[in-house]
Amino acid sequence: MIASKYSDPEIGRRNLETLIAATLEATLLDRERLGRNAATYHEVMERLSLDAFHAYRSLVYETPGFQRFFREATPIAEIADLQIGSRPASRKQSGEIEDLRAIPWVFSWSLSRIMLPGWYGFGAAIQALIEREGDKGLKLLQEMYRNWPFLQTLLSNMDMVMAKGDLGIASRYAELVGDAGLREAIFGRIQAEWQLTVKHLLAITGQQELLQANPTLARSFRNRSPYVDPLNHLQVTLLRRFRAGENDEVVKRAILLTINGIAAGLRNSG
């Protein structure tokens, strides 16, 4: 009975969910550590969350042509067609972004080195706070970062995600978008938000560059980049050939190999 109890996958799943919930509560709602600052910190985070949410949705769901940009500037169609996952990329036979499963959505942006779901909206949210509060707002965020493990973990993860991004490589994927005006408008917004996000992330954490606080990971990724980056450039060339009608098995196989290689090099690509 004991063995079957602990080997039951449903019980294991519930136990894992309970552990995750308890961990989140212990860090996010750590009122003992935060003391009388807890209410202020939570209020600031709620406002930042709302502002980031609105910035993200404004780009993804409210920008005309964004869906086309996404489907042409990332390998999402090839991921779906090559059937490299255990389930379809979309929940329905639909081209809508909201029907896309989470993993192919994140995976596509990772392969194109934009990493958009991991950071977009942060810069706009911090900028809005600073415009409302001035220097006092930035100092409060720096204080929150020093005192709150939840915010430290959140920004550490964003730091890692952005360090693996590369807008130079991303611009090559953006060149796959046939409509030049659409490409410039949307990629321009992504570039502006990227620069704003890096600026505010470094200001809050006190770093001079991304991953400064994690030199081991920084060195590891520097060592992998000479192998990953060429695969990205090769993948762009293959995608252009494939979409132009050169869809023989050699090209398909090559695209699959670049997908696997980039994912292995980035390590957490989806």
Using the predicted structure, report yes or no on whether residue 86 has a pLDDT greater than 60: no
From CA 106, how far away is CA 86, in angstroms rounded?
Answer: 16
Task: State the virtual CA torsion across 226, 227, 232, 237 in degrees, nearest 10.
Answer: 100
Please report the beta strands in the chain, taking only residues with DSSP state E, as ranges in sequence order: none
- What pLDDT, in 10s, does the model give residues 27-50? 555 656 787 889 999 999 999 999
Using the predicted structure, report yes or no on whether residue 204 has a pLDDT greater than 80: yes
Reported pTM: 0.84
Burial class of residue 188, CB neighbours in 10 A (0-12, 13-18, 19+) = exposed
Report the mean per-residue pLDDT for the chain.
87
